[in-house]
Amino acid sequence: MKVPVDRRRTILIFIIMDLLFAAALFLSCMNLFLFQKWGVLQILIIALFVLTSVGMLLLALLRNFYVIESKYLVQVRAWKEAYFHYNDVVYIDKEQAEKKRTLAFYTNKGHVKYLPFDRKGEIYKAMLKRCNNLIDKETFKKRHPDVKI
């Protein structure tokens, strides 16, 4: 089942990052933009920035989703795919999932993965339902004392 990432959250993060890049672009070419008379170069730089921003936003909205399979969860970001097998997940941080709407889970090797929720939280429900090797927080801390939760 294909589940898109929350679009509002994606757009909000994109707007913040786009404004930061616009400020960096302006500051790096400040002398060029402070002239009283604008020419083709200034308009070309702004047009290129706007076209790139729109393209990146479309890419972020169209190619950022999850696929819930029977044995694993697939995260698709642009053209990269990350596979998370349910049998490898040993602990899910439920407090962070409910507060920040970010799925934080730990693998049997002690690695932590963070995944932003979809709109309805279906990936969280699927992980809770299909991960058979889940343990409690104290047991996880005993197995992996160097991992900070």
pLDDT tens readout for residues 71-130: 999 999 989 999 999 999 999 999 989 899 999 999 999 899 999 999 999 999 999 999
Rg (CA), the chain: 21
Rounded CA separation 49/26 (Å): 11
The tokens for 43 are 């308009």
Rounded CA separation 50/27 (Å): 17
The tokens for 7 are 């679009």
pTM: 0.81
The tokens for 66 are 């999850």
Rounded CA separation 50/29 (Å): 16
pLDDT of residue 35 exceeding 80, the answer is no
Q: What is the pLDDT of residue 37?
A: 81
Contact 77, 60 (CB under 8 A): no
Q: What is the pLDDT of residue 24?
A: 93
